[in-house]
Amino acid sequence: MKFVAKKPTKFFARGPTEVKRGLSRLVATRLPRQAQAQEIPLGRFHAGPVAVRCAIGRGGIRQDKREGDRATPGGAFRLLGGFFRADRVFRKAWVTPMRPAGPSDGWCDDPGSALYNRLVVLPCRPSHEKLWRADRLYDLVIILDYNIHPRRKNRGSAIFLHCARPDFAPTGGCIALRRDDLRRLLPRLSRKAVLTVR
């Protein structure tokens, strides 16, 4: 099942008010089970009048997110900024602060570390994710304001909005969009954009 705008060629086109302010309210939801061909959870991502498919965590959406449960946390999260692969993505005039990723960029997912759920420089002894990946999932990645201020151990880490696999395979807890959808969305976001996951 595919969700597109009424006029796909105008994907994420701005209305009169969005030109000045940008998109500020984004919503991601899990599709009802009967709308899915398999038991693999799929999601729907709303940005203004547009709704597209997204990938969510294999554990579904949970309000009581825990480290390692592979669930996407429910709630409302600001978009804090992110990273892009300058060798793969042409930089545009994004309102959301984005900086080039490099091979030494990582994100700590070790609840026992003082660096838990923080950007780290590699090599790094505690368990971590690499932000410089060969599989293109992090060609564009936006950090969601989940478990960052305040930060609580074992409540989940590295919750991002990033690029989806071609088959929309479940994530480890993030929200993932088609790379082209995410690329088109970024220039249209407001500085105060909030993603509500429910």
Q: What are the tens digits of pLDDT across the range 103-149?
A: 999 999 999 999 999 999 999 999 999 999 999 999 999 999 999 99
71-101 tens-digit pLDDT: 999 999 999 999 999 999 988 778 899 999 9
Alpha helices per DSSP H over 48-185 = 179-185
- The residue among 37, 39, 53 whose CA lies nearest residue 4 is 53
φ, ψ of residue 88 to 5 degrees: the values are -125, -20
Q: Residue 38: pLDDT above 70?
A: no
Q: Residue 14: pLDDT above 60?
A: no
Instruction: Copy the structure tokens of residue 156.
Output: 């989940």
> Who has greater pLDDT, 33 or 179?
179
Would the pTM of this model clear 0.75, i.e. be above it?
yes
For the chain, the average pLDDT equals 89
In the predicted model, what is the mean pLDDT of residues 170-179?
97
φ, ψ of residue 20 to 5 degrees: the values are -85, -40
DSSP reduced 3-state for 128: strand
Q: Residue 1: pLDDT above 90?
A: no
Q: Residue 18: pLDDT above 60?
A: no
42-65 tens-digit pLDDT: 999 999 999 999 999 999 999 999
- The residue among 153, 152, 198, 156 whose CA lies nearest residue 25 is 198
> Who has greater pLDDT, 182 or 17?
182
pLDDT at 99: 95
Q: Residue 168: pLDDT above 70?
A: yes
Task: Report the half-sphere exposure of 188 (CA within 13 A, side-chain side).
Answer: 21
Name the pLDDT band for 19 (thresholds 50, 70, 90): very low
In the predicted model, what is the mean pLDDT of residues 168-185?
96
In the predicted model, what is the mean pLDDT of residues 139-160?
97
Instruction: Copy the structure tokens of residue 40.
Output: 């693999």
